[in-house]
Structure 1
Amino acid sequence: MPIDSDNIVIVGAGQSGLAAAHAALEQGLRPLLLEASDRAAGSWPRYYDSLALFSPARYSSLPGLPFDGDPERYPRRDEVVAYLERYAAALIERGAELRTGARVEAVHAAGEPGTSGFLVRLAGGQELTAPAVIAASGSFGRPHRPALPGLDAFTGPVLHVADYRSPASLPGERVVVVGAGNSAVQVAHELATDSATGRRVTLASREPIRFVPQRPLGRDLHFWFRLTGFDRLPLARADNPPASPVLDDGRYRQALREGGYARRSMFARLDGDHALWPDGERERVDAVLLATGYRPNLSYLTGLGALDDDGGHPRQRRGLSLTHPGLGYLGLEWQRTPSSNTLRGVGADAAHVVGMLARHLRGAPQRS
């Protein structure tokens, strides 16, 4: 099965995969995007209904196609989906190939150990070969469910935020939301202010919530990120990325202060339909929502030997594999900079990773 020297397979056609395809075209490569779902929008169509970008449209576009409309607005979920589909269509016009419904089951080395090239096996049995592969499959498909005491025996519904769409998704009057990040606070606020239910909502977290004003000195925080260079701050390693603070326009902190929802230290355990809090209080709970993040969704690389001993994280530096020349990654949290796993930052990562892979394909040494 011949391997074309200018072909590159990209696993995933969300924001990271599309940015990779753009960078590949800029390098004169022929990108093939393999997307498991039926559309080129990644995980965005499956996020909760009220989700909006944390950065204004001005700072939230992929390379080569800015968001239209008011540049200071915060695009909602469905706007982002439509934008990504427009971006994919533009890439196809330029020569990129997109295959939807193409779930990658495994990636293997195509030749003997130490040689270049990969064999990509799809769920339907089809096999493809390529000299370079970019894993841009994100993390939405692998929600993190921590081993909290009593969680598995809890008698009420337990949802991860990946399965949450709106307040109607979660029954019950007493809800515990586990987490202290943006999604946890936004969903807790939404549940608490839903006039149809009048829920009692408690945020349970190991650390206090860290609020950051969304518009300090009258300008969006991302204006200051751009001005100071924070978004381009290089990182030596990203094995243990710091927790992100909650961007607040004032309503979340105010609602917490006024008792719209409560925040408590993590419960000691769940017991049946009750939570036992550290102060000894025992409280009935109807439902638990886990806003506990995600892990890289890279199970198709397990047989390649590209992941760490736990099989959860890639062995990589700044998006380039430490185990297999020709293998790259995009969309990892804090991969190269604080903005790596965002619409505003993944384009720069894609240019770096694809540029290094292009050097590899042309026989030049890669630099990290």
Structure 2
Amino acid sequence: MADSTASAAPQGPAHPADRPVYVIGAGPGGLAVAHALRARGLRAVVLERADHVGSSWRRHYDRLRLHTTRRLSALPGLPMPRRFGRWVARDDVVRYLEKYAEHHQLEIVTGVEVFRVERARDGDGWLLHASGGRELTGAAVVVATGHNHTPRLPDWPGRDTYTGELRHAAEYRSPAPYAGRDVLVVGVGNTGAEIAVDLVEVVAAVDAFEDGKAVLADGSRIAPDAVIAATGYRRGLEGLVGHLGVLDGTGRPVAHGGRCPAGAPGLYFTGFTNPISGMLRELAIDAGRIAGAVAKRQAGRVSRLPG
């Protein structure tokens, strides 16, 4: 993995044919796109706000395993090792992403957060406003910040008066801190079901909090010691690209994969769907489509790799 910090230094105007593709986010989607672009001889620079690749995977709960098999979860150009087993554990996913970046010699700059994307001042390409006063101009931009960007905690009536422990599932790691305590898990998606796997009682959904108790949809009340809200995430794209008219009413990109939103040529999105076939498999497909689209539509403006 090439940590090209210099690539994210404040820039002067770049020649339109000497601009990289900037990929925002060094999760599996961003890494896969960067490799696919590199395989076509196009320079891709991955910008990651954390200090490591795969930062969201590092924050997942300890017992997490992929819900798709190892063979269906590998990214293009590098199989997952057989020793990971059929259902790959969280820490092995992180190891795989680190190896993927190293194996493909991806150009990744960590510690850089992109706050806003807008059209380049010369009208050709995109201008990224990033931490440290950086202004980066790219021929194209791929937003790969992920589906699970910002934890969503419902604004339940009375939530502020609840005196027990209330946290989002994003903060949950293991059951150890909850030994001997009554815990209410809200949400029955994959995350909620896995966190609650040892619970023996299923109750109605939470409607509100009142007098230190959780009020359920069926009118009953319970007083758990802790509440873990597995209530999903927001994509968190409004500040980044919301002003460009590329999001729908729910904050989801109106175009995905190899298609660009109308009026935003060279702006691509990956990782904002939740397909039944598995997220990693979809990211691998998106990567090829995006790289193919860039090679067809923006290649004349993208800086090329030497050799």
- Residue 138 of structure 2 corresponds to residue 160 of structure 1: no
The residue that corresponds to 2:136 in the other structure is 128
The residue that corresponds to 2:44 in the other structure is 31
Kept in 2, the 8 Å contact 1:301–1:307? The answer is no
* TM-score normalised per structure 2: 0.85
The residue that corresponds to 2:268 in the other structure is 328
The residue that corresponds to 1:145 in the other structure is 153
Q: Which moved more, 1:342-351 or 1:129-138?
A: 342-351
Q: The residue matched to 1:344 in structure 2 has which SS?
A: helix
In structure 1, which of residues 105, 115, 135 is the aligned counterpart of residue 115 of structure 2?
Answer: 105
Give how far 1:297 is off: 3.1
Q: Deviations over 1:57-92 (max 9, x none)?
A: 122110110011247521111111010000001222
Give how far 1:172 is off: 7.1
Q: Deviations over 1:85-116 (max 9, x none)?
A: 00001222xxx31101111122121136xx33
The residue that corresponds to 1:73 in the other structure is 86
In structure 2, which of residues 175, 188, 208 is the aligned counterpart of residue 180 of structure 1?
Answer: 188
Change (3 A) 1:141 1:169: farther
Change (3 A) 1:300 1:28: farther
Kept in 2, the 8 Å contact 1:24–1:354? The answer is yes
Change (3 A) 1:303 1:292: closer
Q: Deviations over 1:216-263 (max 9, x none)?
A: xxxxxxxxxxxxxxxxxxxxxxxxxxxxxxxxxxxxxxxxxxxx4211
Kept in 1, the 8 Å contact 2:114–2:240? The answer is no
Kept in 2, the 8 Å contact 1:314–1:321? The answer is no
Q: The residue matched to 1:162 in structure 2 has which SS?
A: helix
Kept in 1, the 8 Å contact 2:19–2:137? The answer is no
Distance 1:5 1:361 in 2: 12
Letter in 1 for 2:221: R
Aligned length in residues: 287
Identity %: 38
Letter in 2 for 1:289: I
Give how far 1:301 is off: 2.2
**Residue correspondence of structure 1 range 155-304 to structure 2 within 5 A:** 155-170=163-178, 173-189=181-197, 192=198, 260-302=199-241, 304=243
The residue that corresponds to 1:354 in the other structure is 291
Kept in 2, the 8 Å contact 1:36–1:100? The answer is yes
Letter in 1 for 2:149: G
- Residue 257 of structure 2 corresponds to residue 313 of structure 1: no
Structure 2 alignment gaps of length 5 or more: 1-12, 302-307
Letter in 2 for 1:158: L
Distance 2:71 2:217 in 1: 44
Kept in 2, the 8 Å contact 1:273–1:286? The answer is no
Letter in 2 for 1:298: L
Q: Which moved more, 1:124-133 or 1:134-143?
A: 134-143
Kept in 1, the 8 Å contact 2:256–2:268? The answer is no
Q: Deviations over 1:123-151 (max 9, x none)?
A: 11111111100000113331122233332
Distance 2:113 2:178 in 1: 30
The residue that corresponds to 2:4 in the other structure is none
- Give the superposed CA RMSD: 2.4
The residue that corresponds to 1:84 in the other structure is 97
Letter in 2 for 1:134: V
Letter in 2 for 1:287: A
Distance 1:159 1:172 in 2: 18
Q: The residue matched to 1:128 in structure 2 has which SS?
A: strand
Q: The residue matched to 1:357 in structure 2 has which SS?
A: helix
Give how far 1:6 is off: 6.0
Structure 1 alignment gaps of length 5 or more: 193-259
Change (3 A) 1:295 1:278: closer
Change (3 A) 1:90 1:297: farther
Q: Deviations over 1:341-362 (max 9, x none)?
A: x222211111112211222214
Kept in 1, the 8 Å contact 2:147–2:273? The answer is no
The residue that corresponds to 2:23 in the other structure is 10
Change (3 A) 1:299 1:277: closer
Letter in 2 for 1:329: F
Q: The residue matched to 1:79 in structure 2 has which SS?
A: helix
Q: Which has the higher contact order (CA 8 A, sep 6+)?
A: 2
